[in-house]
Amino acid sequence: MVRFVNWLRSGSLRLLVLAGIILLIWGMFSPVGTLVWWLSQEVESLGLKPKPDKQLRLGDSSNSQPQSANINCYIVFLTGVGDFSANQLLPGEEVFLNRLEQAHPNCVTVRDVFPYSAANESLGGERFLAPLWRFADEAKGWYGVADVLIKIRNLWRFAISADDRYGKVYNLGIANAIVDRMQAAHPLSQTSQQPIKILLMGTSGGAQVALAATPYLDRWLPNTQIAVISIGGVFAGTDGFNTAEQIYHLQGQRDWVEDIGRIVFPSRWIWTVGSPFNQAVRQGRYTVHSSGPHEHDGAEGYFGMEIAGEKGMKYVDLTIQKVNQLPIWSKEK
């Protein structure tokens, strides 16, 4: 106890208090970037006003390659709060997406949407703070703890997505980025008679962003079936639950982080019976699936490359196995 009191009297306490104040101020101003992005956009590009060539842009399949003509499914992956950029996926995340593409050749994966920027800009693209983010991302040894700055920064964006005041603008930007990157991966076809399947897969805070983008995707893209797969996701339980046809939540047995959403968001409390989340539960559109002995992240997380159990399967293999068992693939042709 004496040692603890002495620690409080030391400069460490002052440093922690200063860091806390900075993070609070940072959080207060975090919506500014979203608002600046929104003000820089044209009305048509945001989907707030009909745009004559928007439908053509979404439906023109003249650039489709012959070998990918049978694509009728998009797997859109949204990363967790610890990621620096959508272009720097973890090795296990790359394995996960590669294996899904191999198992489902009618699907194309979209890997370059960064769910913590309305402009789909990596942290390295931020003009003033880019050096700080690069340092935090590349730091090794004792300085490796600096990556918590990236997590805190991205958590503020997660909070904006779930916020009733700023979320609509932020989530609209993410939805716009999703459509843009889907087009880049494989042009969307308006003439296809078969519904296009969009599978939004989000891990950690990416699940919240995926759900929140769903209403815009449903509005903009005709003849689509949208499902959301939360892989240890934390989400508010409001946006997207009235729009997505199905929401599947994969839950690791040792993942306590994903439990936070059930505690802090009123929409997920069982006595808020009229909330979008509880309505989806009653209608059977939201289901929970145990993925195995996963932690939230790391070597034994959902995309971990360590061996899990006696069967020689890696933690990421368990995740792939569980995702492949979901009924979303049952109607493939």
Distances in whole angstroms, Cα of residue 11 to Cα of each of 3, 18, 205: 14, 11, 34
Distances in whole angstroms, Cα of residue 296 to Cα of each of 199, 217, 251, 307: 21, 28, 9, 16
Is residue 237 within 8 A of residue 112, CB to CB? The reply is no
Residue type, 199: L
pLDDT tens over the chain, length 333 residues: 445 444 444 444 444 444 445 555 555 555 545 454 444 554 444 444 443 334 434 444 333 333 456 889 999 999 988 665 667 788 999 999 999 999 999 999 999 998 888 777 765 445 445 455 454 455 444 444 445 666 777 787 888 888 887 778 889 989 999 999 999 999 987 666 778 999 999 999 999 999 999 999 999 998 899 999 999 999 999 999 999 999 999 999 999 989 989 999 999 999 999 999 999 999 999 999 999 999 998 899 999 999 987 678 999 999 999 999 999 987 554
Whole-number Å distance between alpha carbons of 155 and 115: 11
**pTM of the predicted model, to two decimals?**
0.80
Whole-number Å distance between alpha carbons of 230 and 212: 12
